[in-house]
Chains A and B, each alone.
Chain A
Amino acid sequence: MMERVVHAIQCIGCPIGCGGEVVVENGTVSEMSGFTCKKGLAYAAEEVVAPKRMVTTTVRVSGGGLALLPVVSATPVPKERIFDCLCLLRGVTVVAPVAEGAVIVSDALGLGVDFRAARAVSPLQ
């Protein structure tokens, strides 16, 4: 039996926010409409089968001019693992100084995703 599902997908790739439809037949994407760039097409195709999101949060800083260091996933994280990543990062403390882009957690939870420092933190003066 043919199974045909039409998903309405709102692209989050950029602030333009294209809305479109993705048709999934028997588990694979058969048609897409409404998306206006390559990035949008890739996002929509992935969103219906394995949604992912970039994750940003903070970790504690010891001995720094700031209490917290913002961190960002280097690549998107599977949506259902976001809170696991947040839980992992909640237990992390970094020691200042920290360079922008430094890897804070590599291969988080075996997902193949690194978390990097979103800014530099200088030592407390």
Chain B
Amino acid sequence: MRELSYDVVTIGGGPAGMAAALAAREAGAERVLIIERDRELGGILQQCIHNGFGLRRFEEELTGPGYAHRYIEMVKATDIDVWLDTTVLAAEPGGVITSVSPHAGMTVVRAKSVVYSMGCRERTRGAIRTPGSRPAGVFTAGAAQRMVNMEGYLPGKEVVIVGSGDIGLIMARRMTFEGAKVKAVFEIMPYSNGLTRNIVQCLEDFDIPLYLGHSVTAIHGKDRVTGVTVSKVNDRLEVIEDTAFDVSCDCVLLSVGLIPENELGRAAGLALDPITSGARVDQFRQTSIPGFFAAGNVLHVHDLVDWVSEEAAIAGRSAARHARGELPALGSERSVTAGEGLRTVVPQRLSAFEPGKMSTHFYFRAAKPMGASVLQFWADGVLAFERKLRVVKPSEMIVADIPVRKIGDASTLEFLVVPAPEKIEAEDEIEEEA
């Protein structure tokens, strides 16, 4: 069995793993390794052939493979080691990583710092407990995306999509492009979980109906799926009687949410955030285990890869500093809470700031859609920072830069989203008129 040592190892070679490795190398880590289980780097981007990636990071609109290509070229231009076709079996405290691959067999790597960047996976039919038989033809939208875009198979010709997440919307268009008939998208919530631009260019452009407040209550078919039964739901998401109707189809695609693929972290015993299902991290993206960092969709599910790259760079730089013994020891963190109007906040805790640090980034998910709102930051019960938000959607992450001086030495740190006071808006208008 081979045994090797590295300063920084990223587990996963998707956008998060590549950005973390590059940032670690740039920050002075000498021996950096990316471990990837697929046949190439790039992760999920390689199957996301649609465009719209990179507007923030590269200030141009790239396809998924195009965005991956930029990072793969950057990795190639360095001396970062890349292991493909290699699966990590365990990453234990102390930085002992056990992996296996067909070409190298079992390998143990000792890493001074580890970055979890395993991404996420899709929720399945079991996760939403859809009753009915178990015929062929029921896929997650991402699995269908890989079949259509990379392997060259069409998973069905008459398609029903369950859930209105972005992958489902993108696949509605993609299946239409490949000659399939997409009959409808059914979303249980009263609003879509996808980006507005995807509802316009993937559904409305092709007259694909989106049924909000509808749940698929049964899947039919013996060998192959033959159809679904759909019912309206009330505001408690309970099925309303006598609203059921059937839709025939030979393919059901599920786009019902993503969950961090965090088995390695869980096995290592790191503290988790029950809402994100990812690790609880500080502003350095360090988990509860010293020297273990997390970034990208394994930490919390993002909607833009640009934010993944940015977050992973933070984790990579921190990992390099930890490898040199420059990161302060864990133990005196302050908790950050997501209060009213918010579901999640990352980072969930703050360690001592490095000298000269001016501000720190926070990422939030809203609990429900809201109109004009205000993001508020309360430090020890005092309103320390406010930012206006034109619109709030659970599908679109809120990102805010909070000045370090506003955080100060406060021990209770809470963020809220509240409706924008109409009075202030009216006053603004009066001022404009004057």
| Cα-based distance from A60 to B152 in the complex (angstroms) | 8
For chain B, the count of residues having a C-beta within 8 Å of the partner chain is 30
For chain A, the count of residues having a C-beta within 8 Å of the partner chain is 27
A19 to chain B: closest CB distance in Å? 8
The reply to whether A11 and B49 form a contact with Cβ atoms under 8 Å apart is: no
| Cα-based distance from A55 to B82 in the complex (angstroms) | 33
- Asked if A70 meets B63 with Cβ closer than 8 Å, knowing A10-B196, A11-B197, the reply is yes
The reply to whether B197 and A67 form a contact with Cβ atoms under 8 Å apart is: no
CB-contact partner of B197 in A17, A100, A119, under 8 A: A17
What string of 1s and 0s marks CB contacts (under 8 Å) between B46-84 and chain A?
100111100100000101111011000000000000000
| Cα-based distance from A107 to B68 in the complex (angstroms) | 26
A55 to chain B: closest CB distance in Å? 8
**Which residues of the partner chain A approach B326 to less than 8 Å between Cβ atoms?**
none
A94 to chain B: closest CB distance in Å? 14
A84 to chain B: closest CB distance in Å? 12
The reply to whether B149 and A118 form a contact with Cβ atoms under 8 Å apart is: no
**Which residues of the partner chain B approach A81 to less than 8 Å between Cβ atoms?**
none
**Which residues of the partner chain A approach B303 to less than 8 Å between Cβ atoms?**
15
Residue B201 at the A interface, CB < 8 A?
yes
CB-contact partner of B69 in A12, A58, A119, under 8 A: A119
The reply to whether A119 and B152 form a contact with Cβ atoms under 8 Å apart is: no
What string of 1s and 0s marks CB contacts (under 8 Å) between A93-125 and chain B?
000000010000000000000000011100000
What string of 1s and 0s marks CB contacts (under 8 Å) between B138-182 and chain A?
000000000011111000000000000000000000000100000
Residue B272 at the A interface, CB < 8 A?
no
The reply to whether A57 and B201 form a contact with Cβ atoms under 8 Å apart is: no
The reply to whether B195 and A15 form a contact with Cβ atoms under 8 Å apart is: yes
Q: Pick the most buried of A70, A79, A120: most chain B CB atoms within 10 A of its CB.
A: A70
The reply to whether B51 and A72 form a contact with Cβ atoms under 8 Å apart is: yes
B40 to chain A: closest CB distance in Å? 8
The reply to whether B196 and A100 form a contact with Cβ atoms under 8 Å apart is: no
The reply to whether A57 and B49 form a contact with Cβ atoms under 8 Å apart is: yes
The reply to whether A14 and B197 form a contact with Cβ atoms under 8 Å apart is: yes
**Which residues of the partner chain A approach B196 to less than 8 Å between Cβ atoms?**
10, 12, 17, 19
Q: In the complex, which residue of chain B has the Cβ closest to the Cβ of A86?
A: B177
A65 to chain B: closest CB distance in Å? 8
- Asked if A72 meets B52 with Cβ closer than 8 Å, knowing A15-B197, A66-B150, the reply is no
Q: List 16 A-B contacts (CB under 8 A).
A: A11-B197, A15-B55, A15-B303, A17-B396, A67-B152, A68-B151, A70-B49, A70-B65, A72-B51, A72-B63, A100-B66, A118-B63, A118-B69, A119-B46, A119-B63, A119-B65
Interface positions of B (Cβ within 8 A of A): 39, 46, 49-52, 55, 61, 63-66, 68-69, 148-152, 177, 195-197, 199-201, 205, 303-304, 396
Apart from A12-B197, A54-B51, A66-B150, list 5 A-B contacts with CB within 8 A: A15-B195, A15-B197, A56-B51, A72-B63, A119-B63
